[in-house]
Amino acid sequence: MFEKLNDKAVNKGLHWTTIASEKVLLAIIGISTCLAAALYLYEMILMRQITLSDLFMLFIYAEILGMVGSFYSTSRIPVTLPIIIAITALCRLIMMQNKEMDALMIVGEASAVLILAGAAYLMSLKDKMSLEKLKLQESKEDS
C-alpha cells in the first residue's frame, strides 16, 4: 500500500494541486494587498496627512505586489524579497516609535535591520554565483 504512495503517477497527480493552490493563494494575496493599499490611501486622504511611516507602508504593499508578480513571471520567489520587506517593516516600526521608547529596544531593532541587510547581501551573492555557474555550464555544453 505504501509503495503506491511513492509511485510517480501519484506524485505527478498531486503536483498540479500544489501548483494550483500556490497560484490561487498568491492571487488572493495580490488582490488583498491591492485592497489594503487602496484602503490605506483612502485613510491618508481622509486625514489629509502623509507621514514617512505612511510611505513605508505603501512601499511594503508595493514590495508584496512585486513578490507576487515575480512568482507569476518566474515561478519562484527570490529569497531576498521577503528579507527586504522585513527590513522595510522594521524601519517603519522604528519611525513610528515615539521618543520615550527604550533606547535598547531601538538598538535591537536597528541590529535586526543590519542582520537582515547582511542576509540579503549574502543571498544576492549566492544568486550571482549561481548565475555564473549556470553560464559556465552553458558555455561548456556549447563547446
Count CB neighbours of 34 within 10 A.
Answer: 14
pLDDT of residue 9: 62
Q: What is the DSSP letter of 97?
A: S
Count CB neighbours of 10 within 10 A.
Answer: 11
Residue 123 has pLDDT above 90, yes or no: no
Between 133 and 52, residue with greater pLDDT: 52
Residue 135 has pLDDT above 70, yes or no: yes
Residue 4 has pLDDT above 60, yes or no: no
Q: Give the lowest-confidence range in 23-37, 39-53, 95-109.
A: 95-109
User: What is the per-residue pLDDT across 13-34, written as a single tens digit (0 to 9) for each?
Assistant: 667 788 888 889 999 999 999 9
Cell of 83: 528579507
The stretch 107-136 carries a mean pLDDT of 85
The stretch 78-103 carries a mean pLDDT of 86
Between 4 and 139, residue with greater pLDDT: 139
C-alpha closest to that of 27 among 60, 67, 63, 59: 67
Three-class SS of 11-65: HHHHHHHHHHHHHHHHHHHHHHHHHHHHHHHHHHHHHCCCCHHHHHHHHHHHHHH
Q: How far apart are CA 59 and CA 95, in angstroms?
A: 14
Cell of 50: 502623509
